[in-house]
């Protein structure tokens, strides 16, 4: 079985500051990795995903994440955040050798950007 740990439940930052949201995973098999964002009372929107190749992945809204296999991490970063980035962020994995996109999610990190 696989599991995902998001190390911070809440991250408050000031506008234009950099931010890093941490994600570690545990799995006995190879996985694909995803970051989703959830705005209040909305569904989830894909920010970025790592399938293979370059370990630095760029996504929408200026976010990027780096896959580190030795540390089993997939931390999300943004060099300068905006008020509109305030949302819940979820890290997720899915086993490579499986059918369907059955995601295992972390508990989420609430990012709050203050003026």
Partner 1 sequence: NAGVMQNPRHLVRRRGQEARLRCSPMKGHSHVYWYRQLPEEGLKFMVYLQKENIIDESGMPKERFSAEFPKEGPSILRIQQVVRGDSAAYFCASSHSGTANTEAFFGQGTRLTVV
Binding positions for partner 1, rule: CB under 8 A: 4, 6, 32, 36, 41-46, 49, 51, 90, 94-108
- Give the nearer residue to partner 1 in terms of CB position, either 15 or 94: 94
CB of 103 to partner 1, least distance (A): 7
- Give the nearer residue to partner 1 in terms of CB position, either 12 or 79: 12
What is the rounded distance in angstroms from the CA atom of residue 107 to the CA atom of residue 2? 14
- Give the nearer residue to partner 1 in terms of CB position, either 22 or 105: 105
- Give the nearer residue to partner 1 in terms of CB position, either 31 or 113: 31
CB of 3 to partner 1, least distance (A): 11
DSSP annotation string for 29-64 = S-EEEEEEEE-TT--EEEEEEE-SS-SEEE-GGG-E
Per-residue b or e along 44-66, where b marks 16 or more CB atoms closer than 10 Å to that residue's CB: beebbbbeeeeeebebeeebbbb
CB of 113 to partner 1, least distance (A): 20
CB of 71 to partner 1, least distance (A): 21
Count how many Cα atoms sit within 13 Å of the Cα of residue 85 in the half-sphere of its side chain: 29
């Amino acid at each position: 079985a696989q599991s995902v740990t998001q190390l911070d439940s809440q991250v408050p930052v000031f506008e234009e500051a950099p931010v890093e949201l941490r994600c570690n995973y545990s799995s006995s098999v190879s996985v694909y990795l995803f970051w989703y964002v959830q705005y209040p009372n909305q569904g989830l929107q894909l920010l970025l995903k790592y399938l293979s190749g370059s370990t630095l992945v760029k996504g929408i809204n200026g976010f990027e994440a780096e896959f580190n296999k030795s540390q089993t991490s997939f931390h999300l970063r943004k060099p300068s955040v905006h008020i509109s980035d305030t949302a819940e962020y979820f890290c997720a994995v899915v086993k490579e050798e499986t059918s369907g996109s059955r995601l295992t999610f972390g508990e989420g990190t609430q990012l709050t950007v203050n003026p």
